[in-house]
Amino acid sequence: MERRKFIQNSGLLAAGIYHTPLKAIAGPFVQSPLLHNIPLDKKLNPEWIKSLYHRGFVTTYKKTKNELQYIGMPIGGIFTGTVYLGGDGRLWLWDIFNENQNGIDPKTIEWESDLHVGKKVRPQDGSAYVQPAKNIRPLEQGFAFKILSGKNIIIKKLEAADWDEILFEATYPMAKLHYIDHRLGLDITADIFSPFIPLDERNSGLPCTVYSFSIKNKTKNDINVSLLGWLENKVSPKSKKETDIRLNTAEKNNGSAILNSSIKLNGIENQDKKADYGTMAIGAINSKCIVNTSFSLPLSSSSFSEEILLPTEKLVSAGPLMNSVCTNHVIKSGQTINANYILAWHFANLTLNPVIQGKGRFYNQQFKTAVEVVKYVAANFTALSTQTALWRQTWYDSTLPWWFLERTFLNISTLATTTAHRFESGRFYAWEGVGCCEGTCTHVWQYAQAMGRIFPAIERDTRERVDLGLSLKSDGMMLYRGEVVKTPAIDGQAGTILRIYREHKMSPDKTFLQKNWDKIKLATTWVLNQDKNGDGMEDTPIENTLDAVWDGEIAWLVGMCIAAVKASEQMAIEMGDTGFAKICSTYVSNGTKNMEAQLFNGEYFIHKPDEIKGREKLGSYNTCHIDQVYGQSWAHQVGLGRIIDKEKTISALKALWKYNFTPDVGPYIKERRVP
């Protein structure tokens, strides 16, 4: 749908700017008369509701409001590990060494509260939400300014304590930070990003972070500014032996300076195959850089001028070995200068479960060291930075509210974390969460839509290579976790058929569909066969995303299968397979009719128990399940139109609002908590 039509249909053309934060979005509430503690009257603040339609402004976090400490914006290339950008501009976490840990801070915590006394919370259960991670800094990295104005020399690091104010604009994939000191007479900003270019997954998957500084002189006098960046050599942080020596080297390269971090091994067999073996580098796009292969802290004035070009070696016991690169600028009154820095890493020895058909990192196809990454980014800096900035401008240049644009796009940053990998073969592979639950699980990843629209080639490859390749069995069943788990998931298979249709629609021609049609037809036939009584409603007990095997006819699973078969009907028509198109059409017609007649209770769609087994197993039954019209949602995503009556769908959605939404979940949890 065209963006302007979407705006009109969403009723989001309301004008005006909302300035004053509201104290509460809802309430106040008294004890609910309902047993489930979900208030019928949500008591939402009318002013808050009105504010949702305002265009508003970019979300900006402020040091003076103590809003910077928990910021962790993924800032590396997609599928290159996790590097977080902190609120003050420093990088942290650095999960690039192929640890494949469970969670970004893999620890189980005790959650002591009036709701969960003594409850143990694992990473996959949300420990990072209970105790958010911060200040995980396995290596030293930073930037600093030396400012010479008249006879005054001022040194400031890019750390919160050194500035009157820091503003962090959260416009993924490119953050903008403002560094404010009212005494300096300078406007200092930094655009921090890794190249992110829709439809170009290769240049969006570079293992690097770019700092692009802009400094404007607002005074009447010239000001000398030196900008220093440093990076610790942390190669082989786990596997390094005492006799191994870390090595720093420097080189000038066609208008840029690059400092390399590597390691000299002691000859132990296969040590270069270890997961954390690789290289790191820092560089500046400036031919007159001052480089230091043996940089040390604390900072002094000489830190910005001392140049050491010779290879520098240190044993692990000698303390951190760091590279630094410095650029010097004379900024005239009213002038703005730019300074661009690149930090890169290359740790290609990724290995997961040995049964998985894939290893290594995809970026190893193009680069063999971090220095090569820096050279590539420097040589192509204008195109990479311009295209990334253009995407940021394109996405956020809208009459839609800022909050809406931010929240509908920022989740794609998952691809720039260790949740998602791309093997050297090109295969995409993902966990359910960071380090937990293997296999690019179909019943989890079929919910994701962004990658299929922004990087469709990766999704097409995954459908061919995995879902219709190594996961497809002779009867049409798909293994829902690839090689790792040898069983199906009904919602995963239905969702994957819908994804196949999406990938076809995102293709430039029919080649993808024509090449894979026989396998698509086989996978759809398997779904059709799960309707044992022939009424168009799937009724075979099969695993689903609730990690359960339920009996009966379950509205949300029935709807998913109807949508999937409808998609296959459309593909069959395109392929000229009229016989299979008719089979699909009959299933869809029967399924829609019977779902509306038998699974709609007058207000919402339900789980109908098995006629023989009854309710002997846990199920949703006559409750208001969150995914009950998910199949219709998928149908809208791929342009299939209605598979469920509009009025019944709207009634079900209103029921979700009525029974499932509460402004305060506390009373519900307290009433329903499990001892």
| Three-state SS at 315 | strand
Tokens of 490: 């009904």
Q: Is the dihedral of CA 392, 395, 396, 398 positive or negative?
A: positive
Task: Assign 117 a pLDDT band (cuts: 50, 70, 90).
Answer: low
Q: Where are the domains of the chain?
A: 141-387, 439-644
Angle at 229 between CA 224 and CA 230, to 5 degrees: 145
What is the distance between the alpha carbons of residues 544 and 488, in angstroms, rounded to a whole number? 9
Q: Which string of DSSP letters, residue by residue, matches 68-84?
A: STT--EE-S-TTS-EEE
pLDDT of residue 181: 96
Amino acid at 510: K
Which residues, in sequence order, are bridge partners of residue 219? none
Asked if residue 35 has pLDDT above 60, the reply is no
CB 540 within 8 A of CB 530: yes
Length of the chain, please? 675
Ranges 78-92, 314-328, 353-367, 633-647: which has the least confidence:
314-328
| Three-state SS at 190 | strand
What is the distance between the alpha carbons of residues 402 and 543, in angstroms, rounded to a whole number? 39
CB 334 within 8 A of CB 217: yes
Mean pLDDT of 534-557: 95
In b/e form, how buried is each residue of 608-645, taking b as 16+ CB within 10 angstroms? Answer: bbbeeeeeeeebbeeebbebbbbbbebbebbebeebbe
What is the distance between the alpha carbons of residues 44 and 492, in angstroms, rounded to a whole number? 36
Angle at 186 between CA 182 and CA 192, to 5 degrees: 110
Task: Assign 384 a pLDDT band (cuts: 50, 70, 90).
Answer: very high
Task: Assign 318 a pLDDT band (cuts: 50, 70, 90).
Answer: low
Nearest to 350 by CA among 409, 401, 288, 423: 423
- Percent of the chain with pLDDT strictly greater than 90: 79
Which of 133-137, 262-266, 317-321, 477-481 is predicted most confidently? 477-481
CB 216 within 8 A of CB 223: no
Hey, which CATH number is domain 439-644, 3.40.920.10, 1.50.10.10, 1.10.260.40, 3.40.50.300? 1.50.10.10
CATH number of 141-387: 2.70.98.40
CB 146 within 8 A of CB 301: yes
Tokens of 224: 């000398």
What is the distance between the alpha carbons of residues 58 and 43, in angstroms, rounded to a whole number? 27
Task: Assign 434 a pLDDT band (cuts: 50, 70, 90).
Answer: confident
